[in-house]
Each structure stands twice: as C-alpha cells, then as structure tokens.
Amino acid sequence: MAKVDEIPLKGIHHVEFWVGNAKQADFYYRKAFGFSRIAYAGPETGVRDRASYVLAQGKVRLVFTTPLFPEGEIADHIRQHGDGVHDIAFEVEDAAGAYETAVSRGAASLCEPAESSDTAGTVKQAAVHTYGDTVHSLVERNGYDGVFLPGFEVDSLPGTDVGLLKIDHIVGNVELSKMDTWADYYENVFGWKRFKHFDENDISTEFTALQSVVMSNADGSIKFPINEPAPGKRKSQIEEYLDFYTGPGVQHIAMLTGDILASVRQLRDNGVDFLFVPDTYYDDLADRVGEIREPMAPIKDLGILVDRDDDGYLLQLFTKPLEDRPTLFIEIIQRRGSQSFGKGNFKALFESIEREQERRGNL
C-alpha cells in the first residue's frame, strides 16, 4: 500500500532566518542571489519588536527577521547560534487539524492555532518544534490573497533573477546518535518515509565521516536529509557545524535551477563564493557519468559537480558558508532525471569542505 502522509502538506511556504541585521541580509540575498523583495513588516507597519523582509525567486520564499531590542527569543537565538534558520514553514489545508495531529503523534507544541487578518483575508497558523531550536510553522491561507501574510505590507524591490526555481531539499545537522531519533520524528509525526540512507562507507574521506538519512513526504515533493557525525580521525564538518552553531540546526538549503551553467555563472559574477573543485575531479568525469547534455568545458570552468544514478544525472555546486561562523551554506542543483543527492560526489565535496576546515584550523 502506498505511503500516505499523516499531515498532508501543500509544500514549503517559506523559510525564516533570524539574523543580526535583516536589512543587510536583504541586500545581500538580493544582490548576490538575485532575490526580489516582495513584503516588509516592522515599525512602519505597526510591528514594534522586529523587522522582517520577505524575498522571493521562483517558488522560493525567504524571510529575514531581526530583533529591534536586545531582549527576547530572537536576540537570544542570534547570540547562541549566529544568523540561522529558525522556521521551515509548511503550507497546509487545515492548520488546526495539522497541529492536533502533530502534537498527538509526539511533536512538541510551540504555538497553538491562531488567526490573523488584514484587508486581504485571514490566515490561521500554528507551530511545533523539531531538531534543536528549529520549528515548523503550519500555515493555512485558504482564500487569503495577500502577497505574504497578515502584518506584512507590499514592498516591491526587484532583483536580477538568477534562475532559482524552488527549494529542492533542506539538510539538518544533529548530534551523534540522534539521526534516527529525528528520522523517527518525521516518520511518526508527519508520516514521512525513509527515502535514502548513506552511512560512513558512502560519506567519508581519509580523515572524517558522517551518516545521513533522507526523509521524504509521500509524493517526494519535500525532502529533508538529516546528518549526524560518524567516528573519524579528525573533526568532521558536522561536528564543526554543531560546535559553531552550538547545537543542531539547518546546514544547507538546496535550490533547484533549470540551467545550472547560467545560474552559477551569474552567481559567481555577483560575488558568491563556491567551494573549490580541483581539476583532477574532471579527468575521468566523462567516463564516470557518461553522456550529458551540458558541455564539459564550462562545467569544469565553473567547478560544477556531476553524478549519475539509474534514473538520470544531476549537476550541483555548493557555496562556502554564508556567515562568519562556518554553518549555513546554499546548494545549487539541476536534475536531469536523478532524484538522488550526488553520492558519487560525496568524496570530492567533503575533501573540498575539509580544505576549508583546515584553513579555519578546525579539522
């Protein structure tokens, strides 16, 4: 029998970051990643304790929120974690029903269902906790035709689109021996399935290793890999993240593009720093992945990784950490049939990450 979600989800409604300076984050993501500002909430709109900027590109919605005073949960979150993802919000048909199901199946409550309204209509929201200080808002906006949510006003500032279409997956890092705990959480609370599993034999280098399980909703439209460290000779990238984020949290957000060559070229021109891929990676790439549509010369020139599985191939590239703390980064990915995560690239990717760790003195 086909797997059925316990909590039907329409998709990821938005991802909210809590940051030290939302105005500067808004500028960076507009200028570097090509997002457009679509809405704003703050003192000018009647919100007294915070300022929030909503950015959009394709179906991606990012919210950057900063506290206006040194007290409160947002300021405390930033002091502990630095800038990072606080909320991965799901759009649902019935926020109250989704909340009641989630809590009855073991989720810890954050906010009970509540309504908010403006001239565009009414939205109902609730929220539950997940790993670390990350939360899932449950957003019901049936019939609401505002640009974002009540409390936000239209604030249009177009960016130069770089071709990002939607969020492909979001990766969380958790502590040693906690991967299965949180995989069970998504399975038991939301009714998701274990889509892929990678162990230390799949994801390792000479020095470090990790394990990962990919959780997916029934139709595969939402995928959350969950990583934990595995024993190795030196400190793994997951351990480095946990040290600097001071706990579990979102490691990276993968954004889908329909033309990775054009997207990465524009992102590089915009000043985005990507991980370095050595030329030796490309020596036998054609033999490893077979025929692909994209020309090899620009793939090598732009440092893009390629991997093939039984369903097709994918192309991907990872930024360096976007904060001074070596925590959050962005993945740019294009899929040509493959629905996996670039298993054949793990070694090259992690060796590149280790080079950066060594430069920081954290390997």
**DSSP-assigned states of every residue in 27-70:** HHHHHHH--EEEEEESGGGT--SEEEEEEEETTEEEEEEEESSS
Alpha helices in the chain (DSSP H): 22-33, 73-81, 95-104, 179-190, 237-245, 260-269, 285-289, 296-302, 346-360
Find the mean pLDDT for residues 31-52. Answer: 97
b/e per residue, 209-225, with b = 16+ CB within 10 A? bbbbbbbbbbeeebbbb
153 and 170 belong to one structural domain: no
How confident is residue 340, by pLDDT bands cut at 50, 70 and 90? confident
User: Do 233 and 318 belong together in one domain?
Assistant: yes
Write the pLDDT tens digit of every residue in 137-148: 999 998 899 999
Does residue 78 register a pLDDT over 50? yes
Q: Which residue has the tokens 């604030």?
A: 155
Let me know whether 299 and 259 are in one domain. yes
**What whole-number percentage of the chain has pLDDT above 70?**
91
- 359 confidence band (pLDDT: 50, 70, 90): confident
For residue 306, is it within any domain?
yes
Angle subtended by helix axes 237-245 and 346-360, to nearest 10 = 50
CATH number at residue 31: 3.10.180.10
Q: What total of structural domains would you count in the chain?
A: 2
Confidence band, pLDDT 50/70/90 cuts, at residue 216:
very high
What are the structure tokens assigned to 72, written together?
A: 């409160």
Q: Once rounded to an integer, what is the mean pLDDT over residues 320-326?
A: 95
Instruction: Read off the pLDDT of residues 238-291 as tens digits, 9 standing for 90 and up.
Output: 899 999 999 999 999 999 999 999 999 999 999 999 998 888 888 888 888 999
Same domain, 142 and 173: no
**Same-domain status, 96 and 231:** no
Q: Are 94 and 86 in contact (CB under 8 A)?
A: no
Given 128, 157, 186, the domain boundary residue is: 157
Range of weakest confidence among 29-33, 139-143, 145-149, 207-211: 207-211
Co-location of 120 and 194 in the same domain: no
State whether 137 and 170 are in the same domain. Answer: no
State the pLDDT at residue 6. Answer: 87
Q: What is the pLDDT of residue 75?
A: 98
Quick one: pLDDT at residue 1?
45
Do 169 and 148 lie in one domain? The reply is no
Q: Do 326 and 227 belong to one domain?
A: yes
Last residue of a domain, one of 109, 127, 157: 157
Domain limits for position 58: 11-157
Q: Which of 157, 173, 203 is the last residue before a domain boundary?
A: 157
Residue 43 domain flag: yes
Q: 185 and 58 share a domain? A: no
Question: Rounded to an integer, what distance in angstroms lies between the CA atom of residue 240 and that of residue 357?
Answer: 8
